[in-house]
Structure 1
Amino acid sequence: MGEVRNGFVETVKTIVYALLIAGVFRTIFFQPFWIPSGSMKETLLIGDFVFVNKMSYGYSYASCPSLKLPGFGINIDAEDICGWMRGDNSRILGSEPERGDVVVFRHPVTGDDFIKRLIGLPGDRIQVTDGRLIINDVPVEVKDDGIFAETFSPQGPQGSTPMCANGVVGLGATCEKQRFVETLPGGVSHKILNVGNQSLDNTGVFVVPEKHYFFMGDNRDNSTDSRVQQTAGGVGFVPYENLIGRADRIMFSSAGRSMLYFWTWRGDRFFKAIE
């Protein structure tokens, strides 16, 4: 009996140690993130599985992991664990993000994880006019890059359908959007999508506050981002301490309703660099 009992204790200890190591690894180094929406198409597709480099910008309360399993009554937030670090909008071993980075951050109000592209740095003047991004009163360079086409069908676990520039199409039909290559100040080039004239194609001027950042989705007409302020249900300006890390690479991608459906994995997106 003693051997059986000792074997059980050792097994429990091994599991506990493994969970602790995994928790430390996730807290300090990398955090997995599954793309749930189409706001970053075509850079990131629904079902892309990425690892976020949490060492990129140093550490804050947002670096602590959250564990939310509603079915089991578990709702542990990063602020529950590391809320003592929040308040002065600073970071430990902090470094500044660069314009054009694809960043995962905590929504300033809801605490939900978002992933967007960093467009505006502290002190920048940001505006969108007729769909054209203007930074510090200078329109960014944009070049036509043809058409982005996908099948009009429910995507991901939420079953959302894409917006189409070619009008209302039926299930299984081709959904098209205009595609452009946008080059930001500093030289980062990336693809953006356009559906047509939308409400956020024309904005006022946003002046980014000190130690805050302005984010936009690459799928410009289907993105909840900093163009809408927090009081109106948007993201608004994101504090420095809310940054979680930089997304550098897609590990794999599932076109199905779950990342476990390996037969729906996209063969061209394994270990794909994020631009």
Structure 2
Amino acid sequence: MASTDDKAKRREQEKLASKAAKPAKKKSELRETIVVVIQALLIALIFRSFAYQPFSIPTASLQPNLMIGDYVLASKFTYGYGRYSLPMGIIPFEGRIFGNEPNRGDIAVFKPVPQDDNYIKRVIGLPGDRIQMKQGRLFINGEMVEREMVERTTDTDSFNTTLPVIKYRETLPNGVSYIVQEISDTAALDNTQEYIVPEGQFFMMGDNRDRSQDSRVLSAVGFVPFDNLVGKAEVRFFSIKDNINPWFVWMWPGNVRWDRMFTSVYD
């Protein structure tokens, strides 16, 4: 039969063993948490790099279709993978893997040749096309694109400047239809030279025709090489007025555009 001293020793040993086990258990839990966080970050990075990447709309160039404060997801796989599809262009390779050329009327994210920032515009001209603006009307390969007046309204840009505009429904030769806005048909980019789109490049334009710096400005955007495409815009997943940061949740009431969330950018 164990003595009182033996029992006391055993209790003391059990206490010491329990104290030693607690730090080990805490270290194990911390390690597991770090592993889970790293795994989640890797999954997010892979998803962003190869599936869908989120982009915010900071300017009025695609209004009313994409408004300032819209957040969209662009699919990476639609056009295949090029240098600029990957984060920060970290792999400097030429060409595209699984490349598919965009269709006329797509809304595409890209990096213009002279710029570092991502741009988002509509694909208007394909390789070999002749593009020109005459008195506010779009001509593709010598043919005037169909345009029908919708309404007179106003448009507010990123500098909070509001001007009257006319909305038109424009229909491209392939049947893609969308709304464009014009302040007038005599603005600086409403009468242009004829642009001949080089092979392997595309001509991009904003839907807000008098408030868009796009391929019509050769020194700033110009023709966009296929390799410079980032992805095809697909869906709005969030929208908030006045470009308010989306994490300012206390400002959501009255500012979030609930009717624009989780809607196609081609509606």
Question: TM over 0.5: same fold?
Answer: yes
Q: Is the 8 A contact 1:148 1:193 kept in 2?
A: no
Whole-Å separation in 2 of the counterparts to 1:269 and 1:128:
31
Give the CA deviation at 1:111.
2.1
Whole-Å separation in 2 of the counterparts to 1:262 and 1:51:
20
- Alignment counterpart, residue 228 of structure 2, candidates 216, 230, 242: 242
Structure 1 position 126 matched with structure 2 position 131: yes
Matched letter for residue 211 of structure 2: N
Whole-Å separation in 1 of the counterparts to 2:146 and 2:83:
36
Whole-Å separation in 1 of the counterparts to 2:261 and 2:29:
40
Whole-Å separation in 2 of the counterparts to 1:268 and 1:147:
22
- Output aligned runs, 1:254-265, within 5 Å: 254-256=240-242, 257-260=244-247, 261-263=251-253, 264-265=255-256
Whole-Å separation in 2 of the counterparts to 1:162 and 1:219:
14
Structure 1 position 229 matched with structure 2 position 228: no
Question: What secondary structure, in the 3-state scheme, does the structure 1 residue paired with 2:258 have?
Answer: coil
RMSD: 1.4
Whole-Å separation in 2 of the counterparts to 1:149 and 1:273:
23
CA-to-aligned-CA distance 1:227-255 (integer Å, 9 cap, x gap): 0113xxx2000000111111121112101
Give the CA deviation at 1:272.
1.7
Structure 2 partner of 1:51? 73
Question: What secondary structure, in the 3-state scheme, does the structure 1 residue paired with 2:48 have?
Answer: helix
Structure 2 partner of 1:74? none
Whole-Å separation in 2 of the counterparts to 1:22 and 1:271:
20
Q: Is the 8 A contact 1:103 1:244 kept in 2?
A: yes
- Alignment counterpart, residue 82 of structure 1, candidates 91, 110, 126: 91
CA-to-aligned-CA distance 1:107-153 (integer Å, 9 cap, x gap): 21222100000000000000001111000001100001112335x5x
Structure 2 partner of 1:75? none
Q: Which has the higher helix share?
A: 2
Whole-Å separation in 2 of the counterparts to 1:43 and 1:162:
18
Structure 1 position 182 matched with structure 2 position 204: no
Whole-Å separation in 2 of the counterparts to 1:246 and 1:23:
18
Whole-Å separation in 2 of the counterparts to 1:274 and 1:162:
24
Whole-Å separation in 2 of the counterparts to 1:217 and 1:240:
18
Give the CA deviation at 1:163.
4.8
Q: Is the 8 A contact 2:168 2:179 kept in 1?
A: yes
Q: Radius of gyration: which is bigger?
A: 2
Q: How many residues align?
A: 238
Question: What secondary structure, in the 3-state scheme, does the structure 2 residue paired with 1:82 have?
Answer: coil
Q: Is the 8 A contact 1:39 1:218 kept in 2?
A: yes
Whole-Å separation in 2 of the counterparts to 1:20 and 1:49:
22
- Output aligned runs, 1:85-104, within 5 Å: 85-86=93-94, 90-104=95-109
Structure 1 position 271 matched with structure 2 position 262: yes
Structure 2 partner of 1:145? 150
Whole-Å separation in 2 of the counterparts to 1:163 and 1:226:
24
Whole-Å separation in 2 of the counterparts to 1:212 and 1:252:
31
Q: Name structure 2 gaps, 5 residues minimum.
A: 1-22
Whole-Å separation in 2 of the counterparts to 1:163 and 1:137:
34
Q: Is the 8 A contact 1:163 1:195 kept in 2?
A: no
Q: TM-score, normalised by structure 1?
A: 0.83
